[in-house]
């Protein structure tokens, strides 16, 4: 079923933050934490340092009434930098690739930083910043969410 999540970016302390949130909200992660080292090698991607390999690629935690927060660690070694405005993303999880494409097309018009939805190892994914500066992520998972 389609749903919306709040996606957060951290500079190396996503796991610490989410363990804290887990205690605060008295809930459990939706799935095991995925580290950068768990990601299949991508063509053209440079080798990660040992420190970067242990950073969080993805974590998800239900908080209140069906709302879920998710996160990743940005990698300074890849030129990523946390600044106010790029640390929160609205993550849309439509039911179909066609709906993801429609949402991307409309939200990205006049915006910036777009990555058109495309197949990744976990599903169909894309992102953009709309003309108002709001960051959006689109994800159609390959597997049903638990």
**8-34: pLDDT as tens digits:** 998 999 999 999 899 988 899 999 999
Task: Report yes or no on 95 lying in a domain.
Answer: yes
Task: Report yes or no on 116 lying in a domain.
Answer: yes
The dihedral through the CA atoms of 77, 83, 85, 87 has a sign that is positive
For residue 32, give its domain range: 3-40+50-141
| Helix ranges, 45-135 (H) | 50-53, 97-108
- Per the structure, the count of domains in the chain is 1
Asked if 57 and 34 count as a contact pair (C-beta separation under 8 A), the reply is: yes
Token pair 């939805």 is found at 117
Q: Is the pLDDT of residue 126 over 60?
A: yes
Average pLDDT over residues 85-111: 89
Task: Report yes or no on 75 lying in a domain.
Answer: yes
What CATH number is attached to the domain comprising 116?
3.10.180.10
Task: Report yes or no on 146 lying in a domain.
Answer: no
Q: Is the pLDDT of residue 136 over 50?
A: yes
Q: What is the DSSP string of 83-101?
A: -TTSSEEEEEE-SSHHHHH
Task: Report yes or no on 45 lying in a domain.
Answer: no
Q: What is the pLDDT of residue 144?
A: 55
Q: Give CA–CA dist 127/139, Å, rounded.
A: 9
Length of the chain: 146
Task: Report yes or no on 123 lying in a domain.
Answer: yes
Q: Which of 16, 135, 129, 51 is nearest to 87 (CA)?
A: 135
Kindly report the pTM of this predicted structure. 0.71
């Amino acid at each position: 079923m389609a749903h919306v999540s709040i996606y957060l970016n951290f500079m190396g302390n996503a796991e610490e933050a989410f363990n804290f949130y887990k205690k605060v909200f008295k809930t459990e992660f939706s799935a095991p934490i995925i580290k950068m080292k768990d990601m299949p090698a991508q063509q053209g991607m440079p080798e990660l340092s040992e420190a970067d390999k242990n950073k969080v690629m993805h974590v998800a935690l239900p908080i209140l009434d069906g709302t879920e927060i998710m996160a990743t660690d940005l990698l300074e070694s890849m030129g990523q930098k946390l600044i106010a405005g790029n640390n929160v993303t609205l993550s849309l999880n439509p039911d179909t690739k066609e709906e993801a494409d429609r949402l991307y097309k409309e939200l990205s018009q006049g915006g910036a930083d777009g990555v058109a939805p495309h197949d990744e190892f976990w599903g169909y994914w894309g992102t953009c910043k709309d003309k108002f500066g709001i960051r959006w992520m689109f994800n159609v998972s390959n597997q049903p969410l638990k």
